[in-house]
Structure 1
């Protein structure tokens, strides 16, 4: 019952990122804007998301997870309604920021609620439930977005959140247990001043890399370097402050890294998020640029990946609880690597049976990877550290996903520079070769996750394992 509440919130938050991605061309026509200008509808949401995540752990302890979850859903639904009323691009971007403030709290709060409700011995199977929207959102989001835009209008990609939000509010009010809030910790104001703007500035710089490379031929532009450096310096300044002995309640508890399982899981998830979210950018682009498919058709062609994940994800959650997540994650990474390697053989005429088969294989592996990694980290935490741990994991995932998207976009841009668009006979083959080369890098990066995955627990996570394993 509790998992159902969390999944509803996660579906709203994650679907909204991918649904909007297929509406960018529509926004350009509707608001007579450039591609760089409409990209702010994505960037504004992402920056708001990253800025509010660090506050979630403290706020959950201070106000209680139920109250904060209801507030997050309400804020997200209100932002969605406002987006549908926007009559200018500036208004739409502003309302997307409001959405992002609510959406940024939904995932870390959901992980906290589920982990506390399930306990360490069942965390694998409930995290698998939460993983369904996390893995399937990027696949089915473009399908839903394309269908809504084609059959109705762009307003409906936001209006669809209203009934889901209303259902989530009623469901959460009834099902979630009442909050038992202890005396609140002092708020880390200096930490907030350093970390939230630092994350927003750093991710803005990173997310600007593809457009800078395309427009100027280099990533070393003021638009990229200035915010990235400022953000990195603010984040670097936060680290000693968070670890300072006098700072008993840091905004993000970096002392959790004394837990060896948490540290290994964070490293594994960082590498996986860079490779997975970065490579996810390539599949629909290949179908559109090389095979001439529409946005809706390319979304439908990604469905086998979602089907594969749906098959293995529940099974992986149960097995992770019984035999430990280490074996499950390593098996999943091997399977993903096999599927990704198949894409290194791309050409302009590769059969669809081969492509869909490779996507299905990758989906089978994905279902046994991301959520078992998270459950390995959270199963060793207890009480208030669960909220702080889920906040830390979500920050790492957000940063890694942004880095992965930027890295693969630049690699693809570099490869496509060698394609002569005036050569109609050779351009499709050269474009396909560029994609195949980038998939070689993706395959290597996915395989690299095997190294930290080897150190994940390969035994059952029982209730007695709640005590953290401390690095000496």
Structure 2
């Protein structure tokens, strides 16, 4: 409950704020270029703090770090709503990103330590609720708040959820002492954080400033160089901050590649469909958000189907293949939308897209950490989430570039959805890397009667016989 609530407000914030940016710009007297720093500050701060999340969770305990991150995010949300100028808002958004960057990796690691591998499919079905509902609900809720109240409420809406989740977590979560995390890997943190921050900044600014502009080229190339140095440093470090060598695990590597490509296509589609409704069809932000919302309903319905029927019968690779194939077909169908297409056709396609992607969400999260030792789950979650964030940012950047290159209004949406379908098709190709027998063995319920597995009956004390000296006598009794 704590992790789902944390993910919900974190993902909700990513889309709800975009609806409020025009009103914020008007109130502060800013241009559209200047107001973009509100979103960029959050994105860059998120990238800076994700690499340290795993180490902090191992060093200080996952419960303590998760609740601290949740408190930081909630307090920063209140401060964002109280901001009186752009400088204050950008600073508080960066603080929000610090909390958000730690919440997801630490919470996911804690969750997968609690749930054994054979229960993670059902747990992943629950995780699809914030993953699908929050991004789709953001434009709807943001439109209502901006029109009826003020832009400040798109930040204050996080307060009741954050406070309730923090209080519940403080009472209900089991305390966990820190593990042996080793010394803090300062070179790895510097290279990973600066590399991710520069690369994410370049991706977000490239479509607007042009990929050949000096600032974009400098940050992209500099970010790539720093990330290469980070990989080389982490491979040689005894206790790396980001355990790159964990990608040697076949299930984690395949699931991560699938997730990165799929997230690029999916997040890009959510971005493009909102523009299609508002700019292409002239709908209000609220009406556009309501037309995107069928995707969330499809995910919630499809996740139950995937976790209860499809995955148990077909296994990981086939379930992923079905979901990704359905997603590719739905994105290709969205590429055929025109200015006079019946809106219920688009809404139906979004619902079917939600059903398809739910199979990907449930399966990829269930098998990604199936063969990772419990003590390395925090590092694996950090690596997985950092690459997923890059995938989402890259998807929006690539689709925006395709729209700009197309030129004409409706043609730009056709190109965008077609590019999203190609990204998702790449994920379908990486699915074939998953070893089905390995994934099934790692995520099925243990058989206590199987060879090499302990039999619960064998763990019961045997009946004493004449050769049995009997139970050991406590030292206190001997002394007495």
Q: TM-score, with normalisation over the residues of structure 1?
A: 0.91
- Spell out the pairing of 1:138-177 with structure 2 (5 A cutoff): 138-177=135-174
Aligned partner of 1:441 in structure 2 is: 419
Moved over 6 A (4+): none
Which of 56, 65, 74 lines up with 1:77 in the alignment? 74
Which of 357, 374, 390 lines up with 1:366 in the alignment? 357
How many aligned residue pairs are there? 442
CA contact (8 A) 1:320 1:328 kept: yes
Which of 122, 131, 134 lines up with 1:134 in the alignment? 131
Aligned partners of 2:37, 2:348: CA distance in 1, in Å? 35
- Spell out the pairing of 1:58-207 with structure 2 (5 A cutoff): 58-207=55-204
Shift of 1:309: 0.7
Which of 428, 444, 467 lines up with 1:462 in the alignment? 444
CA contact (8 A) 1:125 1:321 kept: no
Deviation string, structure 1 residues 165-220 (Cα, Å, up to 9, x no partner):
1101111112211113234411101111111111101111111111113xxxxx20
Aligned partners of 2:92, 2:265: CA distance in 1, in Å? 31
Shift of 1:148: 0.9
Aligned partners of 1:317, 1:51: CA distance in 2, in Å? 34
Shift of 1:321: 5.6
Aligned partners of 1:66, 1:140: CA distance in 2, in Å? 28
Aligned partner of 1:9 in structure 2 is: 6
> Could you say what secondary structure the match of 1:41 adopts?
helix
Aligned partners of 2:412, 2:83: CA distance in 1, in Å? 39
CA contact (8 A) 2:260 2:388 kept: yes
Shift of 1:276: 1.1
- Spell out the pairing of 1:40-51 with structure 2 (5 A cutoff): 40-51=37-48
Shift of 1:433: 2.7
Q: Output the aligned Cα RMSD.
A: 1.6
> Could you say what secondary structure the match of 2:373 adopts?
coil
CA contact (8 A) 2:52 2:189 kept: yes
- Spell out the pairing of 1:27-426 with structure 2 (5 A cutoff): 27-213=24-210, 219-244=211-236, 247-318=237-308, 319-320=310-311, 323-416=314-407, 419=408
Shift of 1:62: 0.2
Aligned partners of 2:180, 2:345: CA distance in 1, in Å? 58
Q: Any stretches of 5+ residues in structure 2 without a counterpart?
A: 448-480
CA contact (8 A) 1:346 1:433 kept: no
Aligned partners of 1:183, 1:209: CA distance in 2, in Å? 41
Shifted more, 438-447 versus 63-72: the winner is 438-447
Aligned partners of 2:179, 2:348: CA distance in 1, in Å? 52
Aligned partner of 2:475 in structure 1 is: none
Shift of 1:289: 1.3
**Does structure 1 residue 450 correspond to structure 2 residue 428?**
yes
Shifted more, 327-336 versus 49-58: the winner is 327-336
CA contact (8 A) 1:125 1:316 kept: no
CA contact (8 A) 2:295 2:351 kept: yes
CA contact (8 A) 1:376 1:457 kept: no
Deviation string, structure 1 residues 55-95 (Cα, Å, up to 9, x no partner):
01101100000000110011001101111110001100100
Shift of 1:104: 1.0
Q: TM-score, with normalisation over the residues of structure 2?
A: 0.89
Q: Any stretches of 5+ residues in structure 1 without a counterpart?
A: 214-218, 420-430, 466-472
Aligned partners of 2:44, 2:312: CA distance in 1, in Å? 35
> Could you say what secondary structure the match of 2:374 adopts?
coil
Change (3 A) 1:186 1:464: farther
Greater Rg over alpha carbons, structure: 2
Aligned partners of 1:205, 1:434: CA distance in 2, in Å? 22
> Could you say what secondary structure the match of 1:367 adopts?
helix
Change (3 A) 1:155 1:399: same
Aligned partners of 1:333, 1:153: CA distance in 2, in Å? 39
CA contact (8 A) 2:132 2:300 kept: no
Deviation string, structure 1 residues 223-271 (Cα, Å, up to 9, x no partner):
2011111111111101111111xx1110100110111111111111111
Shift of 1:441: 2.4
Aligned partners of 1:197, 1:434: CA distance in 2, in Å? 33
Shifted more, 381-390 versus 52-61: the winner is 381-390
CA contact (8 A) 1:202 1:228 kept: yes
